[in-house]
Amino acid sequence: MNILGISAFFHDSAAAIVCDGRIVAAAEEERFSRRKHDDAFPSRATAYCLDATGIDAEALDAVVFYEKPLVKFERLLETSLAFAPRGFRSFLAAMPRWLQTKLHLPREIDRGLGGGYQGPILFTTHHESHAASGFYPSPFDEAAILTLDGVGEWSTAAWGSGRGNAIHLEAELRFPHSPGLLYSAFTLFCGFQVNSGEYKLMGLAPYGEPRYADTILREVVDLRDDGSFWLDQSFFDYCAGLRMTSRRFERLFGGPARRPDDPLTEREMDLAASIQRVIEEIVLRMARYVHARTGLEHLCLAGGVALNCVANGRLLREGPFERLWIQPAAGDAGGAIGAALLHWHGHCGQPRVAAAGDSQHGSYLGPAFDAAAIAAALEPLGAVAEDFLDEGPLVAAIAAELAAGRIVGHFHGRAEFGPRALGHRSILADPRRPEMQRRLNLAIKFRESFRPFAPAVLAGREHDYFECDAESPYMLIVAPVRGAVPATGRGLDRLAGVRGELPAVTHVDGSARVQTVDPLRSPRFHAILEAFDRITGCPVLVNTSFNIRGEPIVHDPADAYRCFMYTDMDTLVLGTTLLRKEAQPPLAGAAAYRRSFQPD
């Protein structure tokens, strides 16, 4: 049985295919379209999933959409009426897209599949899709489930449990009271983009002090012991207007929102620290309540808020659950996997056997390119490459480049599904070099200097370097770095004060977002880490996504070569081919390339 899951028309559109209960392929549309957070119907991602499965649309048994658009439209209508006449402007702004596309999903799906599909088109709810994406691929026979995001139809958070092949959601938090929208409001107020800049806000938080946290909890958020809360809507405008926050919000927090190009001030840093503290408290209270109600020792997390790896780290260290499993594509993209699995297990009643690690296959579910495709991409560019016939010499060469302080773009195997690069579409570097964090941010990624980088570490060696008691294959847990001395001082000056054995991956508060790498999920990446360890005595590398600011992670070999040539990257690995920058002919167009991607 072949089931296609679809997520589309809000942000991070994606497609996933499940064959007889096995996740075969999944991809986000942005990788193909090169438009970050692309919300269009995932026609190219769908075509890839079908091709990876070796079938055409006629061979599909079901197509499942990740939410119920008519219920979502009901929320839009009711909210507009509740805030009338003030809500009329936002209602009019939303209508064209609904009337042209969102109310005609069977037509759009049929068009996206090329008209060859004749089977059923089904719809599940948004948070059921999140819950299914969190539980079904997990390694647990039974677990509590917690989903948190901006908003689906009406739900903004939900909890329940999964046992065997069944999921039961017990209760929900409802719009407009939303953990995701609360965090996004502060994201936008601090000058970053919604649905993109939340990572920046989380990275900015350690530079400030949570001096507004009490104000938020006293004036804005009425937080209860069970983690549910009530938002005072007089501070927000997302229900009735075209803005996230109101004038009252501005008065409470010392003036108008920061414009994206303005310098960061201590106010933004303190606001970031404060809302991060509040969201962590919400997550912890919800988790403790869910644990008390379910009595289960394992927890599955999904929804966009589950990508807040600082909150996840606190939950792992301080929360009541023995183990966590977090969907690697926890945002809307992962809803495509959840929708397909929910139909297979929940609706068709097919049995489920939990996999020993998990059944997400390392989240390496995207396209791969063979040697012929790589050669075809490089030939017209006049690229000068060294081909390796065996993995051993190639891995040794990569490790030697890294040990020499060179920055390596690594493009190999199937692409990652989700927002994190996990070694297959990654930029790698030596974490022991104090200058590496700044060089990567300013000369490779062209992004803000305050943003941290993540370490990848050999699985089983994480305890030597990080206060981490659990595997973290998907880079979704923040943990303290052993021996690190948190920077002192205020603001961005703290960047210069990071001290420890791994300065390039140690954030100013002495923490790091850890990825553990094992040989089963990623044999090549594991071998590179082993080889680097043999040379340097350090089993850790910097791992950041292979892209520049505002660009989706590279999709094909030509994308990777352009990014390599137009940045200060030193070395590029494409499959079994190694290219050094100094050997390449000049490639015009660097300025146009950087301008082609809007700042995120």
pLDDT tens per residue across all 600 residues of the chain:
999 999 999 889 999 999 999 999 999 999 999 999 999 999 999 999 999 999 999 999 999 999 999 999 899 888 888 887 777 777 788 888 888 888 888 999 999 998 889 999 999 999 999 999 999 999 999 999 999 999 999 999 999 999 999 999 999 999 999 999 999 999 999 999 998 899 999 999 999 999 999 999 999 999 999 999 999 999 999 988 778 999 999 999 999 999 998 999 999 999 999 999 999 999 999 999 999 999 999 999 999 999 999 999 999 999 999 999 999 999 999 999 999 999 999 999 999 999 989 999 999 999 999 999 999 999 999 999 999 999 999 999 999 999 999 999 999 999 999 999 999 999 999 999 999 998 998 888 888 888 889 999 999 999 999 999 889 999 999 999 999 988 877 777 777 777 789 999 999 999 999 999 999 999 999 999 999 999 999 999 999 999 998 999 999 999 999 999 999 999 999 999 999 999 999 999 888 888 887 766
Q: Where are the domains of the chain?
A: 2-139+327-361, 179-323, 371-595
Q: For the chain, how many helices (H) and strands (E)? A: 20, 21
The pTM for the full model equals: 0.95
CATH class of the domain whose range is 2-139+327-361: alpha beta
- How many whole angstroms separate alpha carbon 446 and alpha carbon 54? 39
- 2-139+327-361 and 179-323, same CATH topology: yes
Among residues 169, 157, 133, the alpha carbon closest in space to that of 344 is found at: 133
- 179-323 CATH: 3.30.420.40
- Spacing of C-alpha 597 from chain mean position: 19
| Spatial separation of the C-alpha atoms in residues 407 and 385, rounded to whole Å | 17
Closest to 466 in 3D by CA, of 506, 412, 436: 506
The CATH architecture assigned to 371-595 reads Alpha-Beta Complex (3.90)
Beta-bridge partners for 403: none
